[in-house]
Structure formats: structure tokens, C-alpha cells
């Protein structure tokens, strides 16, 4: 009887464990060994969808003998929500720059030992110095960078929509406009249009932006969940607020589409590689990050995802069509007006969300 | 005697324990945690202090959020009504179909469950959008009509303007009805199937018309099923967030979208928890109403 009960208890516990592992989609076998001694040849990589080269992971396994288990997240919020309750077993994550700052503040990231990532030399120096969200790049290294702008259908616009005015404050494209549904991305680009820094956290400016957008709302067809490129490609809208990399991907399919960064400047972001606190395989993670910054690896990734790469050695290997692409690498004078968003604190996050709720409900 | 009671109790425990453990671990405990969060406040980016404050509920009861609640209840109500109008004849048709066809028709109703909700919603986008299948069909019909009119010597119809069927509240309701229809049809089918067919025959024999029979005999007897259908359609429709997110327009915000943002972008779990619990109270209210309506009536309505 006792023996039976015991067996039952053990099996239930292992069922629970199995469920937990299934729920996060990764395997956690034998994690509790001394992490810094001999690590088992495994790595859990938590990445965005379609955001790695076609053969990158196999190449890494071949070069190092380490098996990579990649699972996917869809938004930075999802990533943050997963990690805030404790790292469920990820070794390398790909947070956006604004979230790097939040995660550093929340003590969720492991400092990176630069000595173990010699390929840092391949990264364009400006990305190592110009990173207000992670000064000195102690916790994160640049994977790709991106900038928000206006994607548009060339045959349907009268002139190049090179100002936020066409999206935020004009009825010229009434009913053919889509903007982002993310409060921070939407409102803080409005700050740029209003001539202010997007890191200006004043409630007055937010109110001004909200009033402008409430007035503009009847002209807006959709608040999209970062699928603006699909709306543009399917002919649903003609001007859309979207990231340059996303528009570059659909320009391969439809040559009537183009992209411009508004003259007022815009929000730029970086997606970065970082190691979360409590990673079960931190040494493998460093090896993996170093491998990503190999010129050939960077080339393979860039060829697939077509995002701007901060890996100068990889960009040098890319064809001219990529290097001279004005969508992927917008002109320097307008990029100079773009800014990385700081994390503006919980109080402003709440104000932003309330403004968004009011705007959508109005 | 005593041992037999003991044995029975043991057998009861053995069968009841797994579901009880399941309910406690995977339902009550998480719910209790979220309930506790609703009385807390953020103290840092990752920590919530359960301080017993009612501030989150006070904020959730502001006119802004009450307005969104009202709108969600309205949209879910319309959805439920449409599901009932569409679902009742469907359920009736299945009940009266021949034995050979019935399993196939039931399977057709359940077939959509085999596909993920997200994929079904994207499929609906492909149907409803400006350059989608619905508009292609309408355009084809329009052009045929135009051709026919020139054939009989009339002016052709003008240029076809595609209908705007996506990114508005219409699309949200269509999407919700599409997704929730099986929830309505299945309980209706179950109720109608149990119905004693001889009562219908008697009603028709005694001179009541088809419609009179439907309203005086079929509907009252199927009422428990109708109410169940209404509740299991209304409750998930009230909490829908994917459909308004993907199909909705600038103003198609439902309360679940606001709740989702609190747990993700806004990182305000206590407020999100308070909103969730207000939604739960509304749901409990709906279920309590069902209990109230079915009280005093015998469970087997078609008794003698």
C-alpha cells in the first residue's frame, strides 16, 4: 500500500515536471549541475519568429557540438512577462533596446564577459558607443537595428510621404492609413512630429499628442499589431507606420512599395542578444553570441531576414543591392534625428496606456 | 456496516481526489493568486506588493473602463443573439435529419475546432479584406449583372467599389459569430434531440400551425438548452481579445484587449487583475441568472 502510494506520488510529480517543460517548450534535463564546470552541450535560444539565418543553428552545432533548442516569442512584452517570474531556462534572448533598459533595472540580465566574445571587433563601433539604454554594452550586444517610418504604395500617393503629418494630422489619405497599436511606438513618434524628443515624458505633450490622434482617428483604418506590411501588401491601406525591415521584406514581392523615414525623425530600436539571469548554460551562451558575430554567420542571417545588421564585417560580405538599399540603410542626415527610446518609468507607462485606451474608446 | 461506509468513503476519495487536485492546482490556486494581485500595487518592475488596496477597483470603475465594459457586453450580446438566430434552425435541421446524415452534420459543426483559432481568424481576414474572396465574388456578380444589362440594351452598371468589410465592428461581430456558433448549436442540438417528437405531432394534429408549434411547444421545451447555449456563447464572447485585435477597426476595443495590455505592455498586473475580476463577477452574474431562471421548473421539462 505504502509502496503503491509512493509510486503514485513520484509519477505525479514527474507528470507535473513534464507539463512544465512542455508548457515552455524546452527541455530542462539535468540543469542543476555546477554550471561553470563542464556544461552539457545544449543551448536554449529564445528568439523572434523568422529572425535567424536558414542554416545558422545547424552551423553552430557543427562548429561547437552544442545542440540549439530555439523557441519563439512574438512581442517584447511576452518575453518580459515570461522572465519576470524567474527564468524558465533560456540561455540567450533577443530583447529590444527599450526592454534591455527595463530588464537591467529589474536585474534580469547577466553581465557579458566581453573577453569571451572576441568577435565584438566585427561590430560597427558606433553601436558599441551609442547605446543609451545599455551604456558600455555591459549586458547586451546589437543583433539588428531598425527604424520606424512610413511604408507606402507608390502609385497611390501624390508625393513621397516623408513627414509624420500624412499619418497623424492630415485627411489626404483618409481611410487608407494604418498606424501601430503599441502605445509607446505610436505616441512617442507623435512627439517627434510635434517637434519634441521622444524621451520627453511630459504629460502635457502626451495630452497634445492624444488630442491630435483623436482628431485623426476617423481617417485611420486600423491600429495594427505589427503586421502593417501585410495591410500594405494586400492593398488594404496605402500608407502605414512600420519598421523598415518589415517593409524591405515585402518590397521583394511588390515593387510598387517603398519606405521613407519622416523628416522629423523617428524612433529607432535595436534588437540585442543578451543572457538572462539564471541561464542554465551561460558558457555555451557566450560561445553562441560570439558565433553570431562571425562575418559569415552574420551574412547568412542578414540574407534571410534582410534587417539592417550592425555587424560591419558581415555587411561588407553582402551584395551592393543590400548595402546601398535606402530602405535598409536610410540616409545618415535623417537617421541623425532618430532616437532610441528610454524606459520612462511605470508612471508614464500607465499614462501612455490610459491615453491609448481613451483613444481607442473615443 | 462501519467498514462498508469506510470502504465507500475510500472509493469516493480515490475517484474524487484527482479531479479535486486538478481543480485546486490548476484553477483555484491561480485564480486566488490573480485575485490577490487585484488588491496589490507595483513596487518595482517585477514585484507586486499585496497591500489590500482598493485603488485598482476604483480605477477600473472609472467611466472610461465602464464604457468599455458596456461596449463589450453589447458586442457579446449581439454575437449571442446572432448565434441563436443562426444556430437554432441549424440545430433543428440536424435533429430532423436522417440517421445517415446526422453524424456528418454534427461533424461539420465541430470541424472548425480542429483548426487553431488564430488560423481561422486569419482565414477570415483573407475572405473579408478589400481584395478578398467576398469582394472578388461580389465583383464577379456585379460584372455579370452589368453584362446582362448591356445585353438587354440598358446602361451598364458603374465601376464596382469594394465593400469595406474588415477593420470595423461589423468584422468583429462576424468573426465572433463564426467562432462561437458551435458553442450555441451543440447545446441546442442536445436539448432538441431529447425532445419528445410525439408532442410535436400532437400539436400539429390538434390544429396548431408549424410556427405556433415552434413557439408554443418546441421553444419552451428546449429552453434549458437555449439558456445554456446563450451562456456558453456569451461568456467567451465577452472575453474575446484576439478577434477584435485582428479584425477590429480603430474603435473596436473590448475589455479583454485592455486587460491583455495591462499584463503585457503596461506591465500593471494589479490593475489587469482587478479588471479580470470585474469581468468574472459579470460572468458569475450571468450564471446566477441562469440558476434563477431554471429555478422552480422541473429539470425534465417534457415529463408527463
pLDDT given at position B27: 92
Taking CB atoms and an 8 Å cutoff, what residues of chain B touch A222? 167, 249-250
> Grid coordinates representing A282?
551561460
B44 touches chain A (CB under 8 A): yes
Cβ of B45 within 8 Å of Cβ of A84? The answer is yes
Residue of A nearest to B256 (CA): A357
Nearest to A349 among B166, B167, B266 (CB): B266
Q: What is the pLDDT of residue A49?
A: 86
| Mean of all residue pLDDT scores within chain B | 88
Question: Does the pLDDT at position A31 exceed 60?
Answer: no
Considering CB atoms only, which of A77, A84, A221 is closest to B167? A221
What residues 207-246 of chain B have any CB closer than 8 A to a CB of chain A?
A: 245-246
Q: Judge: A352–B46 Cβ closer than 8 Å, yes or no.
A: no
The pLDDT of residue B196 is 85
Asked whether the beta carbons of residue B265 and residue A354 sit closer than 8 angstroms, the reply is no
Number of neighbours of residue A334 by Cβ within 10 angstroms: 18
**Which is it for the CA torsion A126, A127, A128, A131, positive or negative?**
positive
C-alpha cell at A1: 500500500
Does the pLDDT at position A285 exceed 60? Answer: yes
The model's pLDDT over B33-47, given as tens digits with 9 standing for 90+, comes to 999 999 999 888 888
CB-CB neighbors (< 8 A) of B74 in chain A: none
Domain boundaries, chain B: 71-129+165-251+280-296
What is the least distance, in Å, from the CA of A286 to any CA of chain B?
26
CA distance B269 to chain A (A): 10
B253 touching chain A per CB within 8 A: yes
Q: For residue A81, list chain B residues with Cβ-Cβ distance below 8 A.
A: 263-264
| Cα–Cα distance, B203 to B217 (Å, whole number) | 8
3-state secondary structure of A327: coil
Q: What is the pLDDT of residue A161?
A: 94
Report the residue of chain B nearest A101, measured CA to CA. Answer: B45
Q: How many CB atoms lie within 10 A of CB B245?
A: 20
Q: What is the mean pLDDT of residues A312-330?
A: 91
ipTM of the prediction: 0.81
Query: Does A182 contact B265 at a Cβ distance shorter than 8 Å?
Result: yes
Q: Which residues of chain B make contact with A350, given a CB cutoff of 8 A?
A: 266, 268
Please state whether the predicted TM-score (pTM) of the whole model is above 0.80: yes
**Which of A222, A229, A231, A354 to substitute to test the interface with B, most B CBs within 10 Å?**
A222
Task: Look at domain B71-129+165-251+280-296 and name its CATH class.
Answer: mainly alpha
- To the nearest whole Å, the CA of B256 is away from the closest chain A CA by 12
- Picking from B166, B249, B265, the nearest residue to A77 by CB comes out as B265
Kindly tell me the burial class for residue A135, based on how many C-beta atoms sit within 10 Å of its own C-beta (0-12, 13-18, 19 or more).
exposed
Across the A:B interface, residue pairs with CB atoms under 8 Å apart total: 84
> Measured between beta carbons, which residues in chain A are less than 8 angstroms from residue B258?
357
Segment B106-115 shows an average pLDDT of: 89
Chain A: closest CA distance from residue B60 (Å): 11
The CATH architecture that domain A34-140+274-323 belongs to is: 3-Layer(aba) Sandwich (3.40)
Smallest CA–CA distance, residue A56 to chain B, in Å, is 28
Residue of A nearest to B59 (CA): A354
- A8-22, A129-143, A225-239, B198-212: which has the minimum mean pLDDT? A8-22
pLDDT of B2 reads 58
Does the pLDDT of residue A16 top 70, yes or no?
no
Q: Is pLDDT above 90 for B286?
A: no
By CA distance, what is A350's nearest residue in B?
B266
pLDDT score recorded for residue A310? 94
C-alpha to C-alpha distance for A345 and A173, rounded to whole angstroms: 35
Q: What is the pLDDT of residue B265?
A: 84
How many Cβ atoms are within 10 Å of B81's Cβ, its own excluded? 15
Distances (CA, A) of B50 to A197, B25, B61, B188, B202: 36, 21, 20, 44, 63
Give the residue-averaged pLDDT of B84-102. Answer: 92
The CATH architecture to which A146-268+331-361 belongs is: 3-Layer(aba) Sandwich (3.40)
Over residues B233-283, the pLDDT tens digits come to 999 999 999 999 999 988 899 999 999 999 888 889 999 999 999 998 888
Q: Is the pLDDT of residue B192 over 50?
A: yes
pLDDT band at A56 (very low <50, low <70, confident <90, very high): very high
Please, how many CA atoms are within 13 Å of residue A324, restricted to the half-sphere of its CB? 3
What's the confidence (pLDDT) of residue B295? 67
Least trusted range by pLDDT, from A107-121, B67-81, B209-223: B209-223
- Please indicate whether, in this complex, the C-beta atoms of B246 and A225 are within 8 angstroms of each other: yes
Q: Taking CB atoms and an 8 Å cutoff, what residues of chain B touch A225?
A: 245-246
**Average of pLDDT values for B55-59?**
93
Give the Cα separation of A94 and A99 in Å (integer): 10
Q: Which of B128-137, B154-163, B181-190, B245-254 is predicted least confidently?
A: B154-163
Which residue of A78, A234, A358 is in closest CB contact with B264? A78
Q: Which of A106, A349, A360 sits opposite B250 (nearest CB)?
A: A360
pLDDT digits (tens, 9 = 90+) for B140-155: 999 888 888 888 888 8
Strand order in the sheet with A92-93: A67-73, A42-48, A92-93
Numbered ranges of CATH 3.40.190.10 in chain A: 34-140+274-323, 146-268+331-361
Q: Is B180 on the interface with A (CB under 8 A)?
A: no
DSSP A340: P
Q: What is the pLDDT of residue A200?
A: 87
pLDDT at A34 over 50: no
Tell me how far apart the alpha carbons of residues B111 and B126 are, in angstroms, rounded to a whole number: 19
Cell 488588491 identifies what position? Answer: B39
Amino acid at each position: 500500500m505504502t509502496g503503491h502510494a509512493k509510486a503514485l506520488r513520484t509519477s505525479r510529480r514527474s507528470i507535473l515536471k513534464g507539463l512544465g517543460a512542455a508548457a515552455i517548450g524546452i527541455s530542462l534535463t539535468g540543469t542543476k549541475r555546477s554550471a561553470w564546470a563542464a556544461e552539457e552541450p545544449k543551448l536554449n535560444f529564445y528568439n523572434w519568429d523568422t529572425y535567424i539565418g536558414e542554416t545558422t543553428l545547424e552551423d553552430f552545432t557543427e562548429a561547437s557540438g552544442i545542440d540549439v533548442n530555439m523557441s519563439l516569442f512574438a512581442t517584447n512584452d511576452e518575453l518580459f512577462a515570461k522572465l519576470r517570474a524567474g527564468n524558465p531556462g533560456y540561455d540567450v534572448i533577443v530583447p529590444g533596446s527599450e526592454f534591455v533598459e527595463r530588464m537591467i533595472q529589474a536585474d534580469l540580465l547577466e553581465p557579458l564577459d566581453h573577453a569571451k566574445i572576441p568577435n565584438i571587433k566585427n561590430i560597427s563601433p558606433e553601436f558599441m558607443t551609442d547605446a543609451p539604454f545599455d551604456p558600455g554594452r555591459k549586458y547586451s550586444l546589437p543583433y539588428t537595428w531598425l527604424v520606424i517610418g512610413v511604408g507606402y504604395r507608390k502609385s497611390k500617393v501624390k508625393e513621397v510621404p516623408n513627414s509624420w503629418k500624412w499619418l497623424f494630422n492630415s485627411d489626404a489619405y483618409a481611410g487608407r492609413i494604418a498606424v501601430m497599436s503599441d502605445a509607446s511606438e505610436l505616441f512617442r513618434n507623435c512627439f517627434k512630429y510635434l517637434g519634441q524628443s521622444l524621451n520627453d515624458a511630459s504629460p502635457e505633450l502626451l495630452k497634445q499628442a492624444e488630442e491630435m490622434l483623436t482628431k485623426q482617428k476617423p481617417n485611420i483604418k486600423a491600429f495594427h499589431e505589427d503586421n502593417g506590411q501585410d495591410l500594405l501588401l494586400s492593398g488594404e491601406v496605402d500608407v502605414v507606420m512600420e519598421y523598415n525591415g518589415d517593409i524591405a521584406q515585402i518590397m521583394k514581392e511588390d515593387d510598387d512599395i517603398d519606405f521613407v523615414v519622416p523628416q522629423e525623425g523617428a524612433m529607432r530600436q535595436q534588437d540585442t542578444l543578451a543572457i538572462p539571469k539564471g541561464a542554465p548554460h551561460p558558457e555555451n551562451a557566450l560561445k553562441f553570441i560570439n558565433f553570431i558575430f562571425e562575418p559569415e554567420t552574420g551574412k547568412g542571417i542578414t540574407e534571410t531576414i534582410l534587417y539592417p545588421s550592425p555587424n560591419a564585417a558581415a555587411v561588407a560580405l553582402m551584395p551592393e543591392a543590400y548595402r546601398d538599399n535606402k530602405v535598409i540603410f536610410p540616409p545618415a542626415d535623417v537617421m541623425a534625428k532618430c532616437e532610441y527610446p528610454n524606459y520612462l518609468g511605470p508612471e508614464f507607462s500607465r499614462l501612455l496606456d490610459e491615453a491609448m485606451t481613451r483613444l481607442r474608446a473615443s | 456496516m462501519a467498514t462498508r461506509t469506510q470502504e465507500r468513503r475510500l472509493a469516493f476519495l480515490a475517484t474524487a481526489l484527482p479531479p479535486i487536485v486538478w481543480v485546486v492546482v490548476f484553477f483555484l490556486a491561480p485564480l486566488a493568486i490573480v485575485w490577490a494581485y487585484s488588491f496589490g500595487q507595483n513596487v518595482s518592475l517585477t514585484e507586486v506588493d499585496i497591500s489590500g488596496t482598493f485603488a485598482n477597483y476604483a480605477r477600473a470603475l472609472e467611466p472610461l473602463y465602464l464604457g468599455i465594459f458596456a461596449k463589450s457586453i453589447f458586442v457579446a450580446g449581439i454575437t449571442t443573439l446572432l448565434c441563436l438566430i443562426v444556430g437554432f434552425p441549424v440545430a433543428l435541421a440536424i435533429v430532423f435529419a436522417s440517421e445517415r446524415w446526422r453524424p456528418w452534420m454534427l461533424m461539420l459543426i465541430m470541424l472548425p475546432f480542429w483548426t487553431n483559432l488564430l488560423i481561422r481568424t486569419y482565414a477570415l481576414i483573407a475572405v473579408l479584406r478589400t481584395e478578398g474572396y467576398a469582394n472578388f465574388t461580389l465583383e464577379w456578380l456585379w460584372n455579370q449583372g452589368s453584362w446582362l444589362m448591356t445585353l438587354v440594351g440598358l446602361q451598364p452598371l458603374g465601376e464596382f467599389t469594394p465593400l469595406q468589410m474588415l477593420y470595423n465592428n461589423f468584422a468583429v461581430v462576424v468573426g465572433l459569430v463564426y467562432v462561437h456558433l458551435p458553442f450555441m448549436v451543440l447545446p441546442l442540438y442536445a436539448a432538441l434531440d431529447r425532445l419528445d417528437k410525439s408532442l410535436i405531432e400532437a400539436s400539429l394534429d390538434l390544429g396548431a400551425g408549424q410556427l405556433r408549434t415552434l413557439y408554443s411547444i418546441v421553444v419552451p421545451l428546449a429552453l434549458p438548452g437555449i439558456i445554456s447555449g446563450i451562456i456558453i456563447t456569451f461568456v467567451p464572447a465577452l472575453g474575446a481579445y484576439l478577434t477584435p485585435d485582428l479584425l477590429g477597426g480603430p474603435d473596436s476595443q473590448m475589455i479583454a484587449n485592455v486587460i491583455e495590455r495591462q499584463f503585457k505592455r503596461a506591465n500593471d498586473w494589479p490593475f489587469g487583475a482587478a479588471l479580470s475580476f470585474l469581468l468574472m463577477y459579470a460572468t458569475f452574474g450571468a450564471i446566477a441568472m441562469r440558476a434563477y431562471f431554471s429555478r422552480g421548473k422541473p429539470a425534465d421539462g417534457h415529463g408527463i
